[in-house]
Amino acid sequence: MPGTPRAVAKFLSVLSSWLPSLRTRFVLLVAGLFVALSVVMIVVASYLDLHDEEQRAVSDARAIGITVSRLAVPHLTNHHYLILEQELESIAAGGLVAVAQVMDPARAVTIDSDPETSYFDDIETHPLIQLVMETGEEQTRQTPDLIEIAIPVHDMAKGDLLGVSLVSVERKQTDGMLFAIWSRNMVIAGVLLLFCIPVTFHFADNFLRPIKALTQTAHKVSEGSFDAPFPVERTDEIGVLARAYRDMVGRIRDNMAKIHELAFIDPVTGLANREHFRQHFTNSILNENGQPNRLSVLFIDLDRFKRVNDSYGHDHGDALLKEVAKRLETLMVSKGLSSDRSGQAVGPMNQAANPELSSLVARLGGDEFAIIVPARNPVTNIYALTEDLVQCVEQPLEINGLTMTVGASIGVSTYPDDGEDYTAILKNADIAMYAAKRTGGNRASFYNEIERNSWSRDRIRLEAELKNALLRDEIAIVFQPKVNCETTQVVGAEVLARWNHPERGMIAPGGFIDVAEESGLINRLGDRVLELACQQGRIWLDEGMRMPLAVNVSIRQLEKPGFDRRVLDILEHTGFPADQLQLEVTETVAMADPDRVAAVTKPLLDAGITFAIDDFGTGYSSLAILQRLPFNTFKIDRSFVWGIGEDQHSDSIVQTILAMAESLNYEVVAEGVETEEQRDFLRNNGCSTAQGFLFARPMPAAHFDAWLERHASWQPGGAAFQKPYFAA
């Protein structure tokens, strides 16, 4: 029937949901197969038994017919019909035979078993008797009620045909025979089924026992017990499965260990990483009664580490970090504050060991380390610990045969005094560390102490206000035109951020960039400035004016993963062409980690974005590094431009930069041009582009448009702007 397989599958699915036990399914399967086989057996056996019964009835009737035919031989020979009639009547009287007849064809006499008739009566010849007379062969006919057999009667001596005997035997009713047969077979099947079920349960238990053991082991593994035993000693398929499962769990255990190491262990020093540090702090802030534990976080930044990296390379820098990490751990052990690499089983300062309050040394990244210390008495013990840490780090280090020295600026904040959560505590420790650096470094500073001075209060308030400014969209941008020194054409503009403070008015970047850098808000700020710049650039393109834009990028933006993807997403969202965007990176940032800068900027270069080195001349660039970096523009720092014509040293530096740019095929932009003399000097020495107050101050987009209109015919030094340049 159409749809039958689907209906059966659905039925089996429902049945499986009702019978979740494999043992129950196995028993029911065997029982179901047994029942099905029993039904088939009963049907087949009943058919065969019925057939045998019918054959037996025919055989019995034939035996009676043969007996009658032999009995009739002497009587037909001697014509003793009366005696034969009496014998036939006695045979029929037994109830087994319904009719018995003998026909003598010689005299056309029929003798039967019916007492009501006589051989003198004219009895119609039975068709079977007539057929035997014609063929001389035995004939049998079965009707629903009778079995009729006609047998020729022969003279024993001569073999002549003396006559024909006919026997009619009543057939047993089929319904009665079937009932009897079925009853017998069902009783047999029932007895076998009763024997089969307990045997099946027994074999099911034995068969499924190893599977059950394997399942229990799997549950233990799922709960995290990777050392649970497997029944691997078996040689059957279950043993093969157990060994395969054991090997798989072993690989999972090894992979979990590797994943844990990658997720929570710093690959350079082997210390806990930032995420491990965060989780350890979070798990330690409350005791078993839900009360806060006092914890101090020591934020350590190495002084002068950048010089080691720049001078000797990252291999020496990594070796130095390993040595510093070893010193920090050794000191913590000597203070009774030892912590293993998993952050377990340590004791608080001057206290008995307490697993809930454990110290932990971690590397957060770069040259930044951090330590969690239980702070039962921070005024005395934490002060002493920070002094020991400073002295520990500042001792000379032997790195690959070289003697090096670094210092440690340490910021300390304490939970819950200085913050309510991990983010606040770490941020405040970072603030305290920067305060230590501002006072010369190689010392410790406590957040609760720097918070008392007005500078700290202002900085904290400014950080909070900057967060709100980003939420309330108070960040604006201004544009300062970049002008061709030879033709005075506007060849682009630099985008600068402004904070439209509701109380202080418009704040220049110098008033909030440092706060954004230290607090981590620089990423959101940088993304917002880039988005606003690209939106305005797209508006100018739609108005028929191509205006290449330059946007500053900080080191923290470059360090944050996914920077290139965010830039490309902003370009796609705003529709601003990538080849019209230039990103400016300061020389200090570019030289700090040139390999990383090159890796981060490659996808952006491939998209068509150009890069410029900002504040060029203030750092320590080398030609070898410059050739590896993806920049094509120098921006001469304003401090050198301001000295043109007044300081021979500045003139020489600018000329050197311009000559080097020409040899490297770099474009040059001079910042801070304020006088005609500066402009002429730059033009005469090959500087292609300048920007500064001589041309225009930074201004909003609307003022920038008006400035272009008003100064389209301005001719400083006899040159003129070319209005057609702005056509798309």
Q: Which stretch of DSSP H or E encloses residue 437?
A: helix 422-438
Distances (CA, A) of 112 to 70, 88, 116: 15, 6, 10
pLDDT in the model for residue 718: 36
**Residue whose token pair is 């990176």:** 585
Kindly state the average pLDDT of the residues 193-222: 71
% of the chain residues with pLDDT over 70: 80
pLDDT in the model for residue 13: 67
Candidate from 122-126, 253-257, 397-401, 452-456 with smallest mean pLDDT: 452-456
Banded pLDDT at 6 (limits 50, 70, 90): confident
Kindly state the average pLDDT of the residues 529-550: 93
Banded pLDDT at 691 (limits 50, 70, 90): very high
CA distance 583 to 204: 74
pLDDT in the model for residue 456: 61
Instruction: Pick 210 or 422 by higher pLDDT.
Output: 422
Instruction: Pick 273 or 337 by higher pLDDT.
Output: 273
Which residues are CB-contacts of 272 (< 8 A; sequence separation ≥ 6)? 264, 265, 266, 280, 341, 343, 360, 361, 362, 363
pLDDT in the model for residue 344: 40
What residues are paired with 298 via a beta bridge?
371, 412
pLDDT in tens, 564-577: 899 999 999 999 99
By the 8 A CB rule, do 132 and 164 touch?
A: yes
Length of the chain: 728
Please determine, for residue 317, whether its predicted confidence score (pLDDT) is greater than 60: yes
Sign of CA dihedral 303, 306, 308, 309: positive
Sheet holding 295-303, edge to edge: 360-365, 368-374, 295-303, 407-415, 444-446
Work out the mean pLDDT of the chain and round it to a whole number. Answer: 79
Distances (CA, A) of 598 to 129, 517, 612, 631: 120, 22, 13, 9
**DSSP 3-state of 483:** strand
Q: Where do the domains of the chain lie, and which CATH numbers do they carry? A: 50-175 (3.30.450.20), 274-452 (3.30.70.270), 463-701 (3.20.20.450)
Q: Up-side HSE of residue 651: CA atoms within 13 Å toward CB?
A: 11
The CB density around residue 472, as the number of other CB atoms within 10 Å, is 11
Please determine, for residue 453, whether its predicted confidence score (pLDDT) is greater than 60: no
CA distance 536 to 553: 18
Please determine, for residue 719, whether its predicted confidence score (pLDDT) is greater than 50: no
Angle at 704 between CA 699 and CA 708, to 5 degrees: 140
By the 8 A CB rule, do 488 and 718 touch?
A: no
By the 8 A CB rule, do 150 and 126 touch?
A: yes
By the 8 A CB rule, do 380 and 388 touch?
A: no
Please determine, for residue 261, whether its predicted confidence score (pLDDT) is greater than 70: no
Candidate from 221-225, 324-328, 527-531, 641-645 with smallest mean pLDDT: 221-225
Banded pLDDT at 617 (limits 50, 70, 90): low
Kindly state the average pLDDT of the residues 676-689: 89
Amino acid at 32: G
Residue 601, judged by CB atoms within 10 A of its CB (0-12, 13-18, 19+), counts as buried
Structure-derived torsion over alpha carbons of residues 671, 675, 676, 681, reported in degrees to the nearest 10: -50
CA distance 67 to 678: 151
pLDDT in the model for residue 494: 93
Kindly state the average pLDDT of the residues 501-518: 83
Which residues are CB-contacts of 232 (< 8 A; sequence separation ≥ 6)? 239, 242, 243, 246
Which residues are CB-contacts of 598 (< 8 A; sequence separation ≥ 6)? 628, 629, 630
Please determine, for residue 106, whether its predicted confidence score (pLDDT) is greater than 70: yes
By the 8 A CB rule, do 664 and 626 touch?
A: yes
Which residues are CB-contacts of 372 (< 8 A; sequence separation ≥ 6)? 277, 280, 281, 284, 295, 296, 297, 358, 359, 360, 362
How far out from the chain centre does Cα 402 lie? 47
pLDDT in the model for residue 709: 81
Instruction: Pick 116 or 506 by higher pLDDT.
Output: 506
Query: Quick one: which of 431, 390, 428, 457 has its CA closest to 296?
Result: 428
Q: Give the E-state strand segments of 522-671 in sequence order.
A: 549-553, 581-586, 610-616, 633-636, 667-670
Query: Quick one: which of 557, 525, 561, 292 has its CA closest to 425?
Result: 292
The bridge status of strand 444-446 relative to strand 549-553 is unpaired
Angle at 718 between CA 713 and CA 723, to 5 degrees: 30
Reduce the secondary structure of 272-337 to three states and give it as a string: ECHHHHHHHHHHHCECCCCCECCEEEEEEEEECHHHHHHHHCHHHHHHHHHHHHHHHHHHHHHCCC
Candidate from 56-65, 147-156, 309-318 with smallest mean pLDDT: 309-318
Amino acid at 618: T
Structure-derived torsion over alpha carbons of residues 489, 492, 496, 502, reported in degrees to the nearest 10: 80
Banded pLDDT at 558 (limits 50, 70, 90): confident
Kindly state the average pLDDT of the residues 488-501: 90
pLDDT in the model for residue 547: 92
Please determine, for residue 717, whether its predicted confidence score (pLDDT) is greater than 60: no
Number of alpha helices (DSSP H) and beta strands (DSSP E) in the chain:
24, 21
CA distance 157 to 147: 30
Candidate from 393-397, 455-459, 695-699, 711-715 with smallest mean pLDDT: 711-715
pLDDT in tens, 237-259: 666 776 777 777 767 777 666 66
Amino acid at 275: E
- Helix, strand, coil percent values for the chain (each to nearest 5): 55, 20, 30
